[in-house]
């Protein structure tokens, strides 16, 4: 009990100018987050999207909020409607928006009101190559990233591909916030190792909150 408690205690680590790692910040809300996630996915199912270059992504994705991030042969962009169903993306649950607002504030970004949450699902073997989040209109707004399920090796680099990325193991409940001078940092996720998470099973989910519009 003592041990389990110690592992789930929230802690904060400033990783650099504009970058904050909030360990276990989301853990207390795990059940609500997963229940809302299930509802979103029943309305807007996960799908493996195609890159403009014609590659099928190994990470399955869906969205909630006013704008959803999509990619296909025509490019990367935000869309108000889910191309798979033609319907608006499911609304952002209050527990999602509150978590993102509070996490951003802990990192020094007050008043964060995301209008988009990209939901990534990683099965063992899935990975995300290094990229910048730059399809949003206003780079003064941070990115808030919430991890659930299996641990992943997160590669967090600098403003160009040249900087050697920091390697962080993100666990269930961990939140990373980056913004300001770090807003356009390159980041990616190494191939997910197999495992079993008590709540989530053989998967990792990542919720990425953005102010897209
Ligand atoms: C992303 O960059 O969209 C996702 C990052 C992650 O899965 O941790
Ligand atoms: Fe990203």
What's the pLDDT score for residue 150? 98
What's the pLDDT score for residue 3? 54
- Asked whether 208 lines ligand 1 (CB < 6 A), one says yes
Are 167 and 4 spatial neighbours (Cβ–Cβ below 8 Å)? no
For residue 170, being part of any structural domain is answered with: yes
The secondary element (H helix, E strand) that includes residue 143 is strand 143-149
How confident is the model over 90-110, as pLDDT tens digits? Answer: 999 999 999 999 999 999 999
For residue 4, being part of any structural domain is answered with: no
Q: Which ligand is nearest to the CA of 135?
A: 2
Residue 86 belongs to domain with CATH number: 2.60.120.590
CA of 7 to the centre of ligand 1 (A): 23
What's the pLDDT score for residue 2? 52
- Asked whether 120 lines ligand 1 (CB < 6 A), one says yes
For residue 157, being part of any structural domain is answered with: yes
For residue 21, being part of any structural domain is answered with: yes
CA distances 11 to 32, 151, 153, Å, are 21, 17, 19
Q: What is d(CA 143, CA 180) in angstroms, rounded to the nearest whole number?
A: 10
For residue 114, being part of any structural domain is answered with: yes
What's the pLDDT score for residue 115? 98
For residue 23, being part of any structural domain is answered with: yes
Helix and strand counts by DSSP (H, E) for the chain: 3, 13
CA of 108 to the centre of ligand 2 (A): 20
Q: What is d(CA 87, CA 165) in angstroms, rounded to the nearest whole number?
A: 38
The total of structural domains in the chain comes to 1
- Asked whether 49 lines ligand 1 (CB < 6 A), one says no
What's the pLDDT score for residue 152? 98
What's the pLDDT score for residue 8? 72
For residue 2, being part of any structural domain is answered with: no
Q: What is d(CA 95, CA 25) in angstroms, rounded to the nearest whole number?
A: 13
For residue 72, being part of any structural domain is answered with: yes
CA of 128 to the centre of ligand 2 (A): 8
**Predicted TM-score (pTM) of this structure:** 0.96
Q: What is d(CA 207, CA 79) in angstroms, rounded to the nearest whole number?
A: 17
Q: Which atom of ligand 1 is nearest to the CA of 122?
A: 7
DSSP letter for each residue of 146-178 = EEEES-EEEEE--SSTTSPPEEEEE-TT-EEEE
What's the pLDDT score for residue 132? 97
Are 209 and 120 spatial neighbours (Cβ–Cβ below 8 Å)? no
Residues of the chain with pLDDT under 70: 1-7
Ion ligand 2 neighbours (CB, 5 A) are 133
Q: Which atom of ligand 1 is nearest to the CA of 154?
A: 8
How confident is the model over 42-52, as pLDDT tens digits? Answer: 999 999 999 99
179: domain range?
11-210
What's the pLDDT score for residue 134? 97
CA of 32 to the centre of ligand 2 (A): 24
What's the pLDDT score for residue 15? 95
What's the pLDDT score for residue 4? 55
| Phi–psi pair at 162, nearest 5 degrees | -75, -30
């Amino acid at each position: 009990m003592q041990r389990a408690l110690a592992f789930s205690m929230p802690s904060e680590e400033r990783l650099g100018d504009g970058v904050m790692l909030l360990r276990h910040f989301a853990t207390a809300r795990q059940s609500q987050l997963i229940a809302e996630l299930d509802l979103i996915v029943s309305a807007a199912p996960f799908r493996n999207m195609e890159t403009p270059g014609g590659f099928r992504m190994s990470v399955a994705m869906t969205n909630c909020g006013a704008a959803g991030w999509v990619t296909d042969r025509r490019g990367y962009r935000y869309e108000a409607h889910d191309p798979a169903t033609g319907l608006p993306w499911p609304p952002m649950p209050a527990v999602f928006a509150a978590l993102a607002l509070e996490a951003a504030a802990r990192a020094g970004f007050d008043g964060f009101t995301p209008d988009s949450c990209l939901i990534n699902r990683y099965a063992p073997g899935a990975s995300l190559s290094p990229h910048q989040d730059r399809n949003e209109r206003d780079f003064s707004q941070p990115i808030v990233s919430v991890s659930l399920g299996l641990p992943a090796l997160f590669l967090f680099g600098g403003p160009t591909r040249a900087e050697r990325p920091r390697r962080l193991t993100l666990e269930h409940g961990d939140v990373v916030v980056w913004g300001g001078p770090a807003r356009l940092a390159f980041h990616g996720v190494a191939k997910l190792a197999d495992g079993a998470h008590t709540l989530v099973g053989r998967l990792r989910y990542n919720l990425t909150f953005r102010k897209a519009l």
